[in-house]
Amino acid sequence: MSVYKPCDIRGPISELSPDLYGRWGRILGAGLPAGSEFVAGGDVRETTGTYLAALVEGLAQAGMRVVNLGVRPTPVVYFEKRRREAAGCAIVTASHSPPDMNGLKWMAGDRPPTERDVATLEEAAARGAVEVRQRGDILPGDATAYEQWITERWRGSDVSPDFYVILDPGNGCWSTTCLRLVRRAFPETMLSIIHDIPSGEFPERNPDCARPEYLAELAEAVVEHGADLGVAFDGDGDRVAFVDCDGHVLSAEEATWVLMRTLDTGFQGRPFVYDIKFSDQMGAGAAQLGGVPMAERSGHAFIRTRMLDEGAAFGAEISGHYFYEELQGGDDGLFTACRMIAHVGTSGTTLADMRRSCPPIYMTPDLRVNVPADHPAFLEHVQKTFGDLPQTHVDGVRVEFPHGWALIRSSVTEHKLTVRFEGDSQDDLEGIVRDVCEGLPEIALEVCEEYLRAAPSTDLDA
């Protein structure tokens, strides 16, 4: 598949090059007034240094005044853009992807890129020729202002002095940094850390913190040392995941359920933007707190854009991005971690008890299946097959059954479909899976196989 995705650029390094990054820099800069300030940075991957240098040079050739932060967590780059009121920013990163990949995230103006913006960048890069302006300056940047802000924002939270947190930056961008900053923000809190050596090879843990199997060592450490909370970040530091005192890795729904309760009265009558792949319990939970739930297409750029459009107080994506009005609709893994520490550490109860208050959820993960025809044609076939049932088309086709739903959408990372189901009960869930398999025999066998692999204790008759 192409390295150009709906929200950003990401792909194997065999399909990337310094020349491409230089072109992208010149194209992004050419779309802004000469002399505009542009902030750039990148993650810890071994290829990032070369790619970032090429990107920065391309931006300078386009007449930008480039602030080069070097290797920094993605939230630090976004923070510096906000603080400086810069015209744009870009981060060389493949986020949570394996070490042999890299990519690019960016903002030109105050909005994430649209699919049309990504397509325009692809077309311009293919043409090759980009006007070179009078070369702009390249200035060094640092994280001093971010560090002062994040620690002052949470200092004084009055967290219990015996509250114990174990951090896991996973060899990524928060390595050697998050322990120091959390200690400054919560000076009375007990802290320790694992996987704290930055390395683009991610030798100690996979950089995807959204997968519970990759957090087994953190969960074991929390239980072994009697910690109250475990916090794990992804490779570039914008995603976060949590482990409770029982060693349970919270699902995105459970974490969102708890985080919604940190907003207090600031949630009343305000929109909550959530990933369409989330359980319906999230929308219902937000409504109970006085929020206005709004489902949105999966993807960082889609949810952040909807946050801005709606003036939302809070947003969540199932991969571990959490968005806040305070961050101009943006997300920040360390900010969310501090919010969770402050909330649980002052509550007098445990995170385990908090997540148990989340209603039971009967839902599958994404089940990936091969596409029996081209994506648009097959999705149209899904619409017609279940035409007598209510549907939404925010992202693919979501079919509403009497006691649950099925979502069938195109994968953004590979030429496959992703299928997800939720039911009001386990029996309802299995019934919906059967109904979809009966209606779509083209994918029935793969769906059933994937479903049984994800939930082998079920009684589904494949």
C-alpha–C-alpha distance, residues 96 and 169, integer Å: 12
Q: What is the mean pLDDT of the chain?
A: 94
Picking from 118, 142, 166, the residue at the C-terminal end of a domain is 142
> Which of left, alpha, beta for 75 (phi over 0: left; psi -120 to 50: alpha)?
alpha
Give the mean model confidence (pLDDT) for residues 1-24. Answer: 94
Give the model's confidence band at 462: pLDDT under 50 very low, under 70 low, under 90 confident, else very high. very low
Per-residue pLDDT tens for 230-288? 999 999 999 999 999 999 999 999 999 999 999 987 788 999 999 999 999 999 999 99
Return phi, psi of residue 97, to 5°.
-75, 165
How open is the CA angle 291-295-301, to the nearest 5 degrees?
A: 110
Residue 460: pLDDT above 70? no
Same domain (yes/no): 419, 383: yes
Identify the pLDDT of residue 453.
Answer: 87
The model's pLDDT over 289-304, given as tens digits with 9 standing for 90+, comes to 999 999 999 999 999 9
> Which residues constitute the domain of residue 370?
362-454
Does 3 map to a domain?
A: no
**349 and 285, same structural domain?**
yes
- The reply to whether 461 falls in a domain is no
Please check whether residue 260 is in contact with residue 285, taking contact to mean a CB–CB distance below 8 angstroms. Answer: yes
| Residue 443 scores a pLDDT above 60 | yes
The answer on 418 and 333 residing in a single domain is: no
Average pLDDT over residues 388-396: 94
Torsion sign across C-alpha atoms 221, 225, 226, 231: negative
Q: How many Å apart are CA 92 and CA 81, to the nearest integer?
A: 15
| 411 and 349 both lie in a single domain | no
**What proportion of the chain, given as a percentage, has pLDDT over 70?**
98
Mean pLDDT of 37-64: 98
Query: Are 366 and 333 in the same domain?
Result: no
CATH code where residue 22 lies: 3.40.120.10
CA 52 – CA 122 distance, rounded (Å) = 18
Q: What is the DSSP string of 6-40?
A: SSSEEEEGGG--HHHHHHHHHHHHHTS-TT-EEEE
Say if 254 falls within a structural domain: yes
- Flag whether 268 is in a domain: yes
Provide the number of structural domains found in the chain.
Answer: 3
pLDDT band with cut points at 50, 70 and 90 for residue 174 = very high
| Domain endpoint, select from 142, 176, 204 | 142
Note whether 329 and 407 are same-domain residues.
no
- Domain assignment present for 462: no
**281 inside domain:** yes
Mark whether 280 and 221 lie in a shared domain: yes
Q: What pLDDT, on the 0 to 100 scale, is given for residue 264? A: 81
Do residues 85 and 69 share a domain? Answer: yes
* Residue 1 belongs to a domain: no
> Are 153 and 275 within one domain?
yes
Domain finish residue from 142, 158, 190: 142
Dig out the tokens for 161 from the structure: 């002095």
pLDDT digit string, tens, across residues 84-139: 999 999 999 999 999 999 999 999 999 999 999 999 999 999 997 777 789 999 99
* pLDDT of res. 432: 97
Q: Does pLDDT of 459 surpass 70?
A: no
CB 195 within 8 A of CB 175: yes
Give the pLDDT score at 374.
Answer: 66
- 262 with 373, same domain? no
d(CA 286, CA 305): 20
Judge if 108 and 130 occupy the same domain: yes
Q: What is the CATH number of the domain that holds 396?
A: 3.30.310.50
CA separation for the pair 214, 360 (Å, rounded): 24
Residue 376 has pLDDT above 80, yes or no: no
321 lies in some domain: yes
User: Within this chain, do residues 395 and 312 fall inside the same structural domain, yes or no?
Assistant: no
